[in-house]
Chain A
Amino acid sequence: MASEYETVVGIEVHAELLTESKVFCGCPTRFGAAPNTQTCPICLGMPGVLPVLNKRALEFTIRTALALNCQVAEFSKFDRKNYFYPDLPKNYQISQYDLPIGRNGYLDIDVDGEQKRIRIRRVHLEEETGKSLHAGEDIIAATHSLVDFNRAGIPLMEIVSEADMRSADEARAYLNKLRSVLLAIGVSDCKMEEGSMRCEANVSVRPVGASEFGTQTELKNIASFRAVHRAIEFEAARQIALLKSGEHVTRETRHWDDERGETVRMRGKEEAHDYRYFPEPDLVPLEIGREWVESIRESMPELPDARRGRYVRELGIPEYDAGLIADSPAMTRFFEEAVGLGGDAREIAKWMLGELSAALNASGGDFESCPVRPSHLVETLSLIKTGRISGKIAKSVLEDIFGTGRSPEEIVRERGLVQISDEAQLVAVVDKVIAANPGPVSDFRGGKEKALTFLVGQVMKETRGRANPEATNRILRERLAEGTGR
């Protein structure tokens, strides 16, 4: 099947901007406040009110356009998008139509070790709508509906890609990369669970080698990156099955039902809106000064790709690991702080991506809230380096910090974890183990190298993990060789 058809995907992302106040009024934008407590006549669309643009929202949009390698418009304007909806206070949305802030950009993604460039068609700024709450099972069965306008007027950025993705994997990689860029430049918190980042996918399929696109469907209500992947896979398979059975794909908007794992028709193109766009007369057109754009460009933080390159080049971190850290602002902050404290960068990366990530995954936390601080990790690593504890003990120390927040030094001292490197002490234990395990000993002597691992394990068991592994290994080999005369 995959050899006959290819999937074509374009993605539209909406991201709420992290401004202190709304885009056209001074109301706060805090998430989770009691309904309708963050509103004023302007964001409620009361008769007579006028919008005044929040310059910070414009700056954030320009910053995004620059980060996505877009051309930033010198002249732009806002337009009205007219449609009736109970949670849209004015029954039009102030948006941008023909002159978006950014256009013709790109974002490079990695899929299976290969780099691919996804073109960005446009980046524009608009206002967020309110939120409807239906009292009942669903919108149809609801006895009544309530509207919360706290969200209305929060600055919202729309980022539209070209239909350059060819699989669900690429779509997910694109979203991950886009998210890491938006997080790095600090314009959005990109929390899909709070709705501050949302995405829609336009999916079509075509015979491999065809130059024309097939009929696309638009997938809405996708609530996670995992759901994006599933939705695209489902939809592509659905479309291919249709084509194979001689039917055709209808241009329509489909809803992703995550529980049932399928897409469901919402509306067809014939029911599509006529938004009756026209220039917003209540806002003056935007003249975006080049000097301002350049000063924004200069103030841009290091983007994930550049950061990854630097980690690989300057710190010797493996490419893949460097990418994982660079794409996450929390991991980047943790890593940079640890390296800054004088730790070995490669060791730090290894432990972050190994032990710490595993512990965080299990506890559901992230590096921002990790009880093990960069200083803890660096201290632990230096205990290993100076031979005071083994790597194995270090794991247990980190586990302890994770639960208690105590310092590594304290834990090692109190729990008596200091490594045994003393030759005489180790020889005594080794001899005891050799005497107690004649089977494995003769196996080893018979050439079974593996048996050594078992014997090392026994020494560790005897010392409760405190035996210096290198020294143990060496002494074991010495004593065993003595016995055979090898």
Chain B
Amino acid sequence: MRLCDMTMHALHDLLENGEVSSEEITRSVLERIEETEGMIQSFLNLAPEEEALARARQADRMIRDARRQGSAISPVAGIPIAIKDNMCTRGIPTTCGSAILSEFVPPYDATVVKRLVDGGAVMIGKTNMDEFAMGSSTENSRFHPTRNPWDPSRVPGGSSGGSAAAVAAGEAVAALGSDTGGSVRQPASFCSVVGLKPTYGRVSRYGLVAFASSLDQIGPLTRDVRDCAMVMNVIAGPDPMDSTCVSEPAPDYTGFLDRGVRGLRIGLPREYFGPGMDPEVRSLVEGAVRALEGLGAEVIDVTLPHSEYALATYYLVAPAEASSNLARYDGIRYGLRARGSQDVVSLMKRTRSEGFGPEVKRRIMLGTYALSSGYYDAYYLKALKVRTLLRQDLANAFERCDCVVSPTSPTVPFKLGERVEDPLAMYLSDIYTITANLTGAPAVSVPCGFSSGLPCGIHFVGRLFEEGTLIRIAHTLEGALGIADMRPSVAGRRDA
């Protein structure tokens, strides 16, 4: 196995023991990028090779110093990591996959980026995404689509498709994505990597370009659950720059890995396992649940009676907040400015007409409508009420179980272009994942097998701030299924 295909924790051990250098790891990743990026196109902006290697050498010095002093090194020290292009990176373009920010270079680092950089991570590049994180296939990027490393004719999922594809293909050892309706977990499922959406308020959003503020959360995309826990240890915790971030310190997530599932109760929501679920997906998920049962978990039936309204609720709340969050892109202060305007109103109109793609415009219009006086009560306010009911549904379920399970996505990865003309079909990709965003609950997607060679993920939602329980379950399942080592063959292809 090449260095670029190894897990972060394995590389961390090698670095710690001085058996390998960050420079070697980084070279391996850069070579892989050279081989595969022409086809996968995970990145929007790659660090120049010399810059990446300079960062690696700096990390090597940091690791050497730590070793000499006998102090611990950060789990991300010396590890090549990719960042979704909606997290601000000082001096490095941050485009959100949008023409309107194609020229934008932030003057500051997002808190998560700062924590990774301070930990000695080697930032390898900014990954592709659906414009402003709106989409489920990474085809809504204004620059180019990303392809699924397991089958380049298919999408990697979205909107963090670039990050998921990069990790799956060996173009980065770990990555950060953002998850507003499932945007970390669904691409994790499509690319057969681990994706966690932490509890709302667990990870600082400072520097994450907002899509829907009350739903957005940053999460890791990693090769296995231990890597996920290790990245969480670096990025989670209070941040004075984000007042929605809780003040309690985060626990050591690696401490949950080996606790097993004995005594845990897994809830099977009646509403999710009804007719209509893809039979292949269903059998993979049920197989995984049986495996957990075999390891001592108890499986019970639960009900989430308001599930059928979750998607509609999401498509009111998210666009409403987006319409407001995206109002600042007007050509006045930064980013794209349309040419040829004589007055400020036409300048703003033209800039936004040229700068935003169709999906973004669709959601801005939806959100503006939902918030407008006369419709507010019927749409936005009603959606907030349903959101409360969904929260109660989950709270009731969690009185009886420790997590609820479902597939991550109703289907395996679909073909590029297949759903581009059908936004509603695209929206259904998020049906299992959005409830976690609407309720703030933590949720994880773990690979649970393949259907005709295409990845499938299983999805667990936990109690607020109990990411640890999810890590326990996910790590136990991963050990039982033994598929965490599988890598897409495309990763080996040269100029495929």
Contact = CB atoms under 8 A, between A and B. Distances in A.
A91 B327 CA distance: 6
Contacts of B328: 45, 47, 89-91
Nearest to B96: A47
B253 interface: no
Interface residues of B, number: 43
Given A86-B332, A276-B373, A284-B244, A48 B327 contact: no
A91 B86 CA distance: 20
A33 interface: no
A80 interface: yes
A266 interface: no
B260 interface: no
B380 interface: yes
Interface string B240-275: 111110000000000000000000000000000000
A50 to B, nearest CB: 5
B243 A283 contact: yes
Nearest to A80: B324
B489 to A, nearest CB: 37
Contacts of B213: 281-282
Contacts of B242: 50, 52
B332 A48 contact: no
B336 to A, nearest CB: 13
A278 interface: yes
Interface string B205-225: 111111011100000000000
A47 B104 contact: yes
A283 B205 CA distance: 12
Which of A91, A147, A283 has the largest number of chain B CB atoms within 10 A?
Answer: A91
Interface in B95-134: 96, 101, 104, 106-108, 110
A282 B207 CA distance: 12
Which of A49, A84, A91, A145 has the largest number of chain B CB atoms within 10 A?
Answer: A49
B88 A92 contact: no
B102 to A, nearest CB: 13
Contacts of B94: 47-48
Nearest to B104: A47
A47 B330 contact: no
A53 interface: yes
Which of B86, B210, B240 has the largest number of chain A CB atoms within 10 A?
Answer: B210
Interface string A432-474: 0000000000000000000000000000000000000000000
B334 A50 contact: no
Contacts of A147: 332
A278 B244 contact: no
A90 B209 CA distance: 13
Contacts of A274: 372-373
A13 interface: no
Nearest to A24: B243
A99 to B, nearest CB: 15
Interface string A77-88: 000101010100
Contacts of B110: 48
Interface in A31-69: 41, 44-53
A45 B213 CA distance: 14
A147 B332 CA distance: 9
B395 interface: no
B327 A283 contact: no
A91 B371 contact: no
Nearest to B214: A281
A48 B88 contact: yes
Which of A86, A276, A284 has the largest number of chain B CB atoms within 10 A?
Answer: A276
A425 to B, nearest CB: 79
B2 interface: no
A283 B243 CA distance: 6
Nearest to A132: B344
Interface in A85-106: 86, 89-92
A276 B371 contact: yes
A41 B368 contact: no
Contacts of B106: 41, 46-48
A128 B4 CA distance: 51
A151 B49 CA distance: 43
B486 to A, nearest CB: 35
Contacts of B212: 281
Nearest to B216: A281
Nearest to B204: A50
A51 B243 CA distance: 8
A334 B380 CA distance: 56
B206 A44 contact: no
Contacts of B87: 48
B321 interface: yes
Contacts of A92: 324, 327
Interface string B66-96: 0000000000000000000011100000101
A53 B332 contact: no
B206 A47 contact: no
A217 to B, nearest CB: 21
A98 to B, nearest CB: 12
B420 interface: no
A50 B243 CA distance: 8
A47 B102 CA distance: 13
Contact of B208 (A46, A48, A145): A48
Nearest to B132: A47
Nearest to A280: B213
Contact of A276 (B86, B96, B372): B372
A8 B368 CA distance: 36
B205 A50 contact: yes
B316 to A, nearest CB: 11
Interface in B184-240: 205-210, 212-214, 240
Contacts of A278: 320-321, 324, 371, 376, 380
Contacts of B368: 276
A80 B323 CA distance: 12
A84 B380 CA distance: 21
Nearest to B349: A84
Contacts of B483: none
Contacts of A86: 330, 332, 344
A91 B331 CA distance: 12
Given A274-B372, A284-B243, A48 B324 contact: no
B324 A82 contact: yes
Interface in B361-399: 368, 371-373, 376, 380
B291 interface: no
B332 A90 contact: no
A83 to B, nearest CB: 9
Nearest to B332: A86
Contacts of A82: 323-324, 327, 371
Which of B334, B371, B372 has the largest number of chain A CB atoms within 10 A?
Answer: B371
Which of A47, A90, A277, A284 has the largest number of chain B CB atoms within 10 A?
Answer: A47
Contacts of B210: 47-48, 282
Nearest to B374: A274
A242 B321 CA distance: 45
B327 A90 contact: yes
Nearest to B384: A279
B243 A276 contact: no
A145 B88 contact: no
B339 interface: no
Contact of B107 (A41, A51, A283): A41
10 contacts: A45-B333, A46-B106, A48-B210, A49-B207, A50-B241, A82-B323, A82-B324, A82-B327, A86-B344, A276-B372
Interface of A: 41, 44-53, 80, 82, 84, 86, 89-92, 145, 147, 274, 276-278, 281-284
Interface of B: 86-88, 94, 96, 101, 104, 106-108, 110, 205-210, 212-214, 240-244, 320-321, 323-324, 327-328, 330, 332-334, 344, 348, 368, 371-373, 376, 380
Given A48-B88, A48-B94, 16 more contacts: A46-B107, A47-B94, A48-B207, A50-B205, A50-B206, A50-B241, A51-B243, A52-B241, A82-B371, A84-B330, A90-B328, A91-B330, A278-B321, A281-B213, A282-B213, A282-B244
